[in-house]
Structure 1
Amino acid sequence: MADVPSPLADFIVSEIRRARGASGMTQEAFGRAAGFSASHVSAVESGNRALTIDFIRGADRAFSNDGLFGRLVAKLGAPSWFLPWLDAERGARQLRLFEPLLIPGLLQTENYARVVMRLNDLMSATEVDQQVSARMSRHKILTGDSPPQVVAVLDESALRRSGDEYAGIIAEQVAHLITVAELPHVHVHVIPAGAGLHIGLSGPFALARAGDGSWVGHLENQLGGIVVDTEDELHTLQTRWENVRNEALPRRQSNELMKEVHSDHGPH
C-alpha cells in the first residue's frame, strides 16, 4: 500500500507510539492486534521502515479508535481516493500522464501547485500548505536511483493559460517543464492549439506500469478520482492514450514550442 508522505508520517508515527505507550501495549502485543510483527512495528517507530496505510489501519484496529488515524491521514495528507494511485505511481516503471487543461501534478512547480490548490476555496491555508507539500514530495521519483520512464502529454492551452497576476508563475512553470524534459527518462509532448477537437478533451487520465508488467489507470474528476484496473477499462485508456499521443508534437518540436511559449511570456 501507499507510503504516507513526510512530515505527516512522522506525526502519525509519534501519535501511534504515544497511544501504544498510554495503553500499556508492548510492540509485540500491538503488532499482534494490528497484524504486524514486533520487528515491523519497531522498524516503523524508529523510522527505518515507511509508514503505510495498511499499518495505519492496523493501528486503528489495535486501538479500537473508530479509524482515528485513518481520518487524520485523509484530512491532513493525500485524500483517501488518491492513495491507491500514489502506491501505483511510486512503484511504476513507466508512467503515462495526460492533462488537457493543467500541468500534470508530477511536473508542477511549488508556486504553480499552490495557485491550483487555492482555486478550491473550501480548502484552508493550512490544508493548501499540506497538499502542496505532499505534491512536491511526489517529485522524488523523478530523480531517484531508478526513476520510471515518464511520458506526459499536455495541451498548449495549459502552457498559455495565464493573466497578469500569474504571468510570472506560468513562466516559471514552463521553464521548469523545459528543464525536466531534458532528463533522459522524461518526455513531454505538447498538443498544439491548431490540433482542434480531440478525444482527450473529455478529461485527464494517467497510466502506470508496474515492474511485473501490469497496468493501473487513474481518472480524476471534480469530486475525487478512481483507480482503474479491469482489462476493458485499461484497454479503453490505452487506446485513448494512443489517440492523444498521436495528436501531440514529437519530443524535439514540443521542447521548441515550450521555449517559444516561455519567450512569449517575457522576462520575469
Structure 2
Amino acid sequence: MATGQMTAAAFLVAELRRARVRRGWSQDELARAVNYSPSMVSAVELGQQPPTGKYLEQFDKALDTGGLYTRMLTDLVSLDRAQPWLRGRGAIVAQAKVLRWFEPLYVPGLFQTEAYARAVFEAGGLLEEEDVERRLNERMEGQRILYDEEPPRLVAVVDEAALRRQVGTRKTMCDQTSHLARTATEHPRVRLHVVPQSAQEHPGLGGPFILATLREGMELAFLATQVGGQELDQPADLGRLQRVWEAILGEALPPQESLELVRKVTESWI
C-alpha cells in the first residue's frame, strides 16, 4: 500500500491466515473445512481475492469463532476507503454490474478458450506448471459469471491484431476466434467491437484496461501490467479512462461489422 498503513481489509486477511496457522491447518485442510477450493483460500490469503460474506461465515463456523471475522467484514472493512486495492481483477469482474473492457493484446479473459488461456500462461515458460494450472482454473471458473442469473452487461473492444497474432497453435486460434464470435452472437448481454488494423494511432494503444460499475454502485478501473495490475477509483483517473474509452469506440467497427471481421479472421486460421 502506498501509504505504508495497514487497511482494515489487509488486517482481516492477515488475521485469517494467523487463525489458520494457530489451528495448525494447511490451506488444503482449511479449504476442505470451509468447502472452498485450495486456490480460493490461497488467493484470499495473498490478497488477490476478497473474502466474501459466505466465505467468512464458513470460516467462522469451521473455527468456531462466534462470528468474529464476519463482523470484521461488515463493521470494519466496509468503512475502509482503501479497500478496493484488495479486490484484484477477478473480484472486480465478478462483482460488476457493467464492464467496459479494452484489450489490444489478447482476447479478453472472459472469452478465452481453455487452450488459448493455457498458451497465454505457458508463454515463455515463466510460470511453474502448478501456477499455470491455478491461473487456468481461476480463469475458467471466472467465466461462469456470463451465465449467472444476473450476468454483467459487457461491452468488449478488441484490437484486430490480438485476433491475428498466433497464441498456441493455428487450431487454437481458429477455435478461439470462432468461440469469440459465437459468444458475442448468442449472449444477450455481450456487445463486441473490433478496432480494425486500418485504424490510425489512438489513446488505447497505451494498454488494456477495464472500467467497471460494481453492483454496490462503486466505479473502478483496472489497468493490467506485467506484475499484476493497478486499481483506480479516483474521479480524475476514471474520467481520463472514460475519454480514452470513447476515443477507442470511435475507431472501432459497429457490432455487426465486428462479427463479420472476426468470422473472416477465423477462416484465415483454418
- TM-score, structure 2 as length reference: 0.70
TM-aligned CA distance change 1:132 to 1:44, over 3 Å:
farther
The aligned counterpart of 1:154 is 158
Residue 119 of structure 2 is aligned to residue 101 of structure 1: no
Residue 184 of structure 2 is aligned to residue 188 of structure 1: no
- 1-structure distance, mates of 2:61, 2:243: 41
| Count of residue correspondences | 209
SS in structure 2 opposite 1:219? strand
Q: CA deviation at 1:198?
A: 1.2
The aligned counterpart of 2:252 is 248
Residue 175 of structure 2 is aligned to residue 172 of structure 1: yes
- Matched AA of 2:175: E
**Aligned-residue CA RMSD (Å):** 2.9
After TM superposition, the structure 1 = structure 2 runs for residues 205-244 of structure 1, keeping only pairs within 5 Å, are: 205-244=209-248
Which of 31, 37, 40 pairs up with 2:57? 40
Which of 135, 146, 156 pairs up with 2:139? 135
- 2-structure distance, mates of 1:117, 1:246: 32
TM-aligned CA distance change 1:220 to 1:42, over 3 Å:
closer
1:149-175 per-position Cα deviation (integer Å, ceiling 9, x unaligned)? 011001001111127x62110111001
TM-aligned CA distance change 1:12 to 1:256, over 3 Å:
farther
1:17-74 per-position Cα deviation (integer Å, ceiling 9, x unaligned)? 9xxxxxxxxxxxxxxxxxx9xx92467649xxxxxxx77x99xxxxxxxxxxxxxxxx
- 1-structure distance, mates of 2:89, 2:266: 31
1:107-161 per-position Cα deviation (integer Å, ceiling 9, x unaligned)? 1111000000011523111210111010111101101100010110010011111
Is the CA contact (8 Å cut-off) linking 2:107 and 2:158 kept in structure 1? yes
SS in structure 1 opposite 2:106? coil
Identity of aligned residues (%): 35
Is the CA contact (8 Å cut-off) linking 1:13 and 1:45 kept in structure 2? no
Which of 31, 36, 39 pairs up with 1:13? 31
- 2-structure distance, mates of 1:44, 1:112: 39
- 2-structure distance, mates of 1:144, 1:224: 27
- 2-structure distance, mates of 1:248, 1:178: 16
- 1-structure distance, mates of 2:243, 2:61: 41
After TM superposition, the structure 1 = structure 2 runs for residues 71-150 of structure 1, keeping only pairs within 5 Å, are: 83-150=87-154
SS in structure 2 opposite 1:181? helix
